[in-house]
Amino acid sequence: MTEVIFVQDGQLSRSIEVQSGEKAEMILLVLPGVSCDIKLDVRLAGEGSEANIYGAYVCGGQERVKIAVDMHHDLPHCNSRQLFKGIAGGTSKVDFYGKIIVAKDAQRTEAYQENHNILLTDGAKVDTKPQLEIYADDVKCSHGATIGRLNEEEQFYMRSRGITLEDAKVLQMISFIAPVLENIEDEAERELVVAQFESSIRNLAR
Amino acid sequence: MFGSLMARALQDSRFFMSKDKEILDNITDKEYEHGFVTDVEQEFIPKGLNEDIIRLISAKKQEPEWMLEFRLEAFRRWQKMPMPKWAHLDIPEIDFQDIIYYAAPKKAEDRPKEIDPELEKTFDKLGIPLHERQALAGVAVDAVFDSVSVTTTFRSALAEKGIIFCSFSEAVREHSDLVRKYLASVVPVGDNFYAALNSAVFSDGSFVYIPKGVRCPMELSSYFRINAAGTGQFERTLIVADEGSYVSYMEGCTAPMRDENQLHAAVVEIIVEKDAEVKYSTVQNWYPGDAEGRGGIFNFVTKRGICKGSGSHLSWTQVETGSAITWKYPSTILKGDNSSSEFYSVAVTNNMQQADTGTKMIHIGRNTRSRIVSKGISAGRSQNSYRGLVKMLPGADNARNFSQCDSLLIGDKCGAHTFPYIENANKSAIVEHEATTSKISEDQLFYCNQRGIGPEEAVGLIVNGYAREVLSKLPMEFAVEAQKLLQVSLEGSVG
């Protein structure tokens, strides 16, 4: 079952150990106004275990959001996937750090990590440090990180079809965050979360 | 029917696996072909490092007072600095008092007109012809042997265009205002531990100045050779490309096989003025040590360029196959608006080699562009890391970066790591980074094998294809050497 966590102000430290055949799934949500320091330590400690960690953050003020994830692959045949997406506006500062460590004997590992960010203002700052530390050869590992802005061509496309700039931006930001929120299994819960993100994004676009 | 096919396929795959294993096991036995020692009479200064030694080096080079002051200032700073420990490297303790900081081939009383035949033979053996008539068409060479520059070719042809290409010590004596203006303007003396050490004891290197609007008609090249035992090489390169000029510069290095570790700590500074372009290529093939990790060069190098004027361009291309330990991050400061920089790298590590290498792109100006392509290949029991920084400062409007870092693992005892640092403080700047790590795909190997290409050859083919994007950026003379080097470095390391 997917664990959905609304992160609160302050520190959040979690150590997760995933046993053979088990699957851990977690979604971290950071809404505007929340400054937090998240530390996750995930250990795939049984053969064939799996971990999926997702995160979405939206910052519009003076938030400081720090996320650090260590993903340890100790044994063969384990899979992990991480997807973190966020929007930084105002004078917020986002720090992302994510490391995938694949031990010597952890053959047949598949580990992926992505971190994508959108900067809305010049006052906001995003630093990201995705890292791979790999000691086994039969692996498929990758990470990707981007920091960019809202695509102006997309905005033009929508505006030329009668959608206001504000609505266009809201649509862009929602669809940017959506791949994270999609992973909430329970439909009612998902709709609730999407609605919450939508209203905070709408505030940001104003 | 189906069952028998399955059995057959299984058998085949086992056959290939055992074959691969076999090849993997007899890996690494390729000898380092530049491992010979040249027997020339050399003059050394005493071991160790203190202010007297620095005064001695400076006196030997007949340097002006300001140069000595520069060295002493660097030395005083260096003494207060700790050795950097942040790299993903296992560096044994280095005793800096146990190194000879200056070694030069002995010369007759008067400077001889001809190069010592032994030296000439050495460079011939390395495939670096020093006689202009035999020289590769269009390449001017500056050859540095231990601590001194032995000869620089094609100087008169270059001088006609106003280009200065000479050894660093000569530049200090003859073009001291230029050297004084630019020296340490990109890499300050106290920049880091090894740069400070280099600033204190550097012995020779190359100096290049391309005047306004001049397109250098030939490739410039430096060739560095460590020969003497117990010494370190500390060379310094300074390249200045004035407005609208162009130069392509290549650097190569080799050293004899020895059981001891030798230190090589160089500093390269490049200044690119408005609309100028510099292309800097390195093929680094220092002695990597033997299969058990004995000996080899410690290659701790600081290379940095600045795109000072608008529209300037700096491109780094490196093929790193040698050295026991490599610590090297050729970087660019993109200061001028619309300036651009590229970094292309292939780093191969085998046996017990360690490499921590990458680049830094600091975007200051508007519309600056940078591109990073790094291909790491690790085999044997080696560790190969990419470490890079992309930084967008608040003023870097519309700046753009793309980085691609791929790692290839050959064998299950090596490691490949990626440590990018990405910082963006400008909303219109876009940074993209992606990295992958994998081994050579069995599908690709199978495809080749099926067509009669043996496993080893197939790996050579795949690795070359994998590195092509970088190799294709090298000047022609180097591309051939680099391709051969890749093959030699990986000989037998196939799995």
Instruction: Spell out which residues of chain A touch residue B399, defining contact as CB-CB under 8 Å.
Output: none
Instruction: Spell out which residues of chain B touch residue A128, defining contact as CB-CB under 8 Å.
Output: 422-423
Q: Do A122 and B425 touch (CB under 8 A)?
A: yes
Interface of B with A (CB under 8 A): 88, 392, 394, 407, 409-439, 495
**By the 8 A CB rule, do B323 and B295 touch?**
no
CA dihedral sign of residues B423, B355, B77, B316: negative
* Confidence at residue B23, expressed as pLDDT on a 0 to 100 scale: 42
Residue B490 φ then ψ, to 5°: -100, 0
* Confidence at residue B386, expressed as pLDDT on a 0 to 100 scale: 94
Interface of A with B (CB under 8 A): 104, 107, 117, 119-122, 124-149
Taking CA atoms, B216 is separated from A117, B213, B276, in Å, by 43, 10, 11
**What is the Cα–Cα distance from B474 to A8, expressed in whole angstroms?**
53
Amino acid identity, position B464? N
Q: How far is CA B294 from the centre of its chain?
A: 21
Residue A23 pLDDT > 50, yes or no?
A: yes
Of B413, B414, B417, the CB nearest to A133: B417
**By the 8 A CB rule, do B323 and B283 touch?**
no
Average pLDDT, chain B: 83
* Confidence at residue A56, expressed as pLDDT on a 0 to 100 scale: 96
Residue B12 pLDDT > 50, yes or no?
A: no
Q: Do B421 and A122 touch (CB under 8 A)?
A: no
Q: A142: distance to nearest CA of chain B, Å?
A: 4
**What is the Cα–Cα distance from A178 to A185, expressed in whole angstroms?**
13
Of B88, B424, B437, the CB nearest to A119: B424
Of B394, B424, B437, the CB nearest to A147: B424
Rg (C-alpha) for chain A, rounded Å, is 18
Polymer length in residues for chain A: 206
- Report the residue of chain A nearest B381, measured CA to CA: A135
Strands B139-145 and B219-225 turn out to be parallel
Residue A82 pLDDT > 90, yes or no?
A: yes
* Confidence at residue B34, expressed as pLDDT on a 0 to 100 scale: 73
Taking CA atoms, A150 is separated from A132, A161, A182, in Å, by 28, 18, 21
* Confidence at residue B19, expressed as pLDDT on a 0 to 100 scale: 45
* Confidence band, pLDDT 50/70/90 cuts, at residue B114: low
* Confidence at residue B361, expressed as pLDDT on a 0 to 100 scale: 96
Q: Do A125 and B425 touch (CB under 8 A)?
A: yes
Polymer length in residues for chain B: 495
Average pLDDT (B295-309) is: 93
Residue B66 pLDDT > 60, yes or no?
A: yes
Residue B326 pLDDT > 80, yes or no?
A: yes
Instruction: Spell out which residues of chain B touch residue A71, defining contact as CB-CB under 8 Å.
Output: none
Amino acid identity, position B154? F
Instruction: Spell out which residues of chain A touch residue B421, defining contact as CB-CB under 8 Å.
Output: 127, 129
* Confidence at residue B471, expressed as pLDDT on a 0 to 100 scale: 84
Lowest-confidence region among A37-46, B254-263, B345-354, B403-412: B254-263
* Confidence at residue B129, expressed as pLDDT on a 0 to 100 scale: 57
* Confidence at residue A76, expressed as pLDDT on a 0 to 100 scale: 94
Taking CA atoms, A28 is separated from A40, A52, A125, B377, in Å, by 11, 11, 20, 36
* Confidence at residue B150, expressed as pLDDT on a 0 to 100 scale: 63
Q: B137: distance to nearest CA of chain A, Å?
A: 43
* Confidence at residue B26, expressed as pLDDT on a 0 to 100 scale: 40
Q: A155: distance to nearest CA of chain B, Å?
A: 15
**What is the Cα–Cα distance from B373 to B371, expressed in whole angstroms?**
7
Q: Do B439 and A138 touch (CB under 8 A)?
A: yes
Residue B319 pLDDT > 50, yes or no?
A: yes
**What is the Cα–Cα distance from B265 to B249, expressed in whole angstroms?**
19
Q: Across the A/B interface, how many CB contacts are shorter than 8 Å? A: 111
Lowest-confidence region among B34-48, B133-147, B383-397, B461-475: B133-147
Average pLDDT (A107-121) is: 94
Residue B279 pLDDT > 90, yes or no?
A: yes
Average pLDDT (B477-487) is: 72
Instruction: Spell out which residues of chain B touch residue A142, defining contact as CB-CB under 8 Å.
Output: 434-437
Lowest-confidence region among B5-19, B72-86, B104-118, B213-227: B5-19
pLDDT digits (tens, 9 = 90+) for B409-453: 888 888 999 999 999 999 999 999 999 888 888 888 899 999 998
Average pLDDT (B351-378) is: 94
Average pLDDT (A134-145) is: 90
Residue B494 pLDDT > 60, yes or no?
A: no
Most B CBs within 10 A among A100, A117, A120, A131, hence the mutation to make, goes to A131
Average pLDDT (A100-105) is: 92
**Ranges of H-type helices in chain A:** 152-159, 165-181, 187-205
